[in-house]
Amino acid sequence: MHLSASLRGDAFEPLHRFVQTCRAQLLGLGPLSLDSLDAVMALAEEARALADRLEGSIHPANVVTRYIQNSHVEATGRIVVPQGACFYSHLFAREGVVMQSGVFRGDAITVQEGEVVLDEVGSPNGTRVQVTLLTAGRFRARLVHPNVRVTIAGQTYVFPSTRFRTEVFRNHKGELEVV
């Protein structure tokens, strides 16, 4: 993960001050020094602002590999498996997952927003696979086996049987469409 220039040097000072404030007000042997709900709310708002600042400073970084098994993989960009396979793993990517040749047998793919492009997903025996696009995006696969669940922005479709050349997306009405 690369931090932008805005977080180098003195830019960490607000985070350092926030941590010191939390230690002083929330830790120790005596009573908490927070004296009102407004003080708690102000601390929570400062935490949200710092989290937003840090989140905005992360540059996309892709993960490219040939094989994943029994793993937890995270990328601030995309996860790309050009040729290979993925078995019993959890993939988390901000911008998408691409696996144009090979099989994804499970367990789950979660993408913030983007595309999930798979060659084959699930298994003929109905291995449960969950593909989630949190805010928006499109799911495409050459071969989808039964019991594959695709969720886009909270709407879910479960494949009851094997399908070829399939896409799942939200149409202009905001409804999940499977073609």
Spans of all domains in the chain: 5-56, 63-178
The arithmetic mean of pLDDT across residues 18-35, rounded, is 82
Q: Give the pLDDT band (50/70/90) at residue 4.
A: very low
- Asked if 58 and 1 touch (Cβ cutoff 8 Å), the reply is yes
Give the Cα separation of 175 and 66 in Å (integer): 35
- Whole-model pTM? 0.73
* Cβ burial 70-108 (10 Å sphere, 16+ → b, else e): eeebebbbbbbbeeebbbebbbbbbbbbbbeebbbbbbb
pLDDT in tens, 38-80: 988 999 999 988 888 877 677 889 999 999 999 999 999 999 9
The more confident residue out of 155 and 23 is: 155
Q: In 3D, which of 45, 75, 74, 41 has the Cα closest to residue 61?
A: 75
Least confident stretch, 25-29, 79-83, 172-176: 25-29
Whether residue 151 has pLDDT greater than 50: yes
φ, ψ of residue 33 to 5 degrees: the values are -90, 0
Residue 123 — pLDDT band, cuts 50, 70, 90?
very high
Name the more confident of 131 and 47: 131
* Contact yes or no for 156/134 (Cβ under 8 A): no
The listed CATH number (2.160.20, 1.10.20, 1.10.1200, 3.40.1700) that belongs to domain 63-178:
2.160.20
Cα→Cα distances 27→13, 20, 41, 46, 54, Å: 20, 10, 17, 18, 24
Could you tell me which of 167, 125, 169 has the C-alpha nearest to residue 147?
A: 125
Q: Is the pLDDT of residue 3 over 90?
A: no
Q: Residue 20 has what pLDDT?
A: 87
